[in-house]
Structure 1
Amino acid sequence: MRIPALLAVLLVAGCSQSTAAPSPSPEGAVRLSGGGQFATKGTAAVVYDSKLAPEGAQASATVESSPGRTVSSLVVEGLLAKRAYGAHLHVNPCGAKPDDAGAHFQHQAGHADAANEVWLDVKTDEAGMGRATATQAWGFPVGTVPGSIVIHAQPTKADGTAGPRVACVTLSR
């Protein structure tokens, strides 16, 4: 039985939540999520390259940030089989154009690396399904949260580049 990607993320996130309230901190605690079937219109889940994210493809994402720790998860379904994609948090929500999501979200502005950004590279299986999780040793700065997760055409290189933008999932509280 195949569980839709969004349901799988919600089940995992619901089972892993702590009941303890986060302690006060300059960074605060934030939970973001988003997902859906990729479409050319709208902003919840947008496709920019239907060859790499064909009709029926979908994704879901969660990002939980608390003082000193951020955990981000991405689940994809219906992408091309046995293929690697790059994925990153971006500063803005998705839009009609790939560049609308803005630059990679960085904990501290100025350098692109796996310690300062969230890289969720994913490799799909024979059915086009894949998942990735990244844990960072930092929380979001007060008043600053990413707006989306963008899926790129290639896995992330050492300099943080991952090729053209294939699809985007807007994150919201």
Structure 2
Amino acid sequence: MKRHTLAFLFATAIVLPGSALAGAGSAEAAVGPFAGARGTFGPYSEGRVATTYDPSLVPAGATGRVYSMSGKYTGTFTTLSVSGLRPERQYGAHVHEKPCGASGGDAGPHFQNVADPAADGGASTDPAYANADNEIWLDFTTSERGSALASSHVKWAFGERKPASVVIHEHSTSTEHGHAGDAGARLACVNVDF
């Protein structure tokens, strides 16, 4: 219940940019910047917001929305909502370092607050780094209509280094040593100007 309430309040703050939370000078500095993206999934093309790499699991015409708020005193809140996906199915989703590209691998590894030095710019599978406190995980299970809402809150804020996309994966995220952070194939990607 707490997770859904938080997601609702966060989405409301995004939807109502004229509110005191978003409009007051001192509150704005404390809350931090907002980012948002929404798009309709389709084949990759330059400038496309939402790309599908596996139309059988993320069909062309499905939609994805990402909202994020990051600030020094609040940490980072992120929500992902999807519609038109396969019904009653589990998916993994994470914030990634690079923008979407022609292939799922172009988005690079998961964005980590503290980067795993052993990963050397690649994917980390060490649970000390690949975890929901050091990364932004947005796993979800779709409804009978193929819709879902996922939310994440981490205690850290983006600094000069910022992520660039959210990738939807084949299955829920593993937490086991040697497989931590793994969620299978990259099915789709949403570009976000965090």
TM over 0.5: yes
Match of 1:4 in 2: none
User: How far apart in 2 are the matches of 1:155 and 1:58?
Assistant: 20
Match of 1:55 in 2: 60
Structure 1 or 2: more helix by fraction:
2
User: How far apart in 2 are the matches of 1:60 and 1:13?
Assistant: 12
In the alignment, structure 1 segments of 5+ residues that lack a partner are 1-8
Match of 1:120 in 2: 138
TM-score by length of 2: 0.77
Distance 1:31 1:12, change over 3 A: closer
Deviation at 1:11, TM superposition (A): 5.3
User: How far apart in 1 are the matches of 2:66 and 2:12?
Assistant: 12
Matched, 1:67 2:72: yes
Structure 1 or 2: more strand by fraction:
1
Displacement over 6 Å in runs of 4+: none
User: How far apart in 1 are the matches of 2:155 and 2:105?
Assistant: 28
Give 1:9-158 correspondences, 5 Å limit.
13-15=14-16, 18=21, 19=24, 20-23=27-30, 29-42=32-45, 43-68=48-73, 69-110=75-116, 111-141=129-159, 143-158=160-175
TM-score by length of 1: 0.86
User: How far apart in 1 are the matches of 2:13 and 2:88?
Assistant: 24
User: How far apart in 1 are the matches of 2:90 and 2:13?
Assistant: 23
CA deviations on 1:111-160 (whole Å, 9 max, x unpaired) are 1111100000011000000000100011112x111100000010111011
Higher-RCO chain (CA-CA 8 Å, sequence separation at least 6): 1
In the alignment, structure 2 segments of 5+ residues that lack a partner are 1-9, 117-128
Structure with greater Cα Rg: 2
Q: CA RMSD in A?
A: 1.9
CA deviations on 1:46-88 (whole Å, 9 max, x unpaired) are 0000110113211010111100410000000000000010000
Give the AA of the match of 1:36: G
Q: Number of residue pairs matched?
A: 160
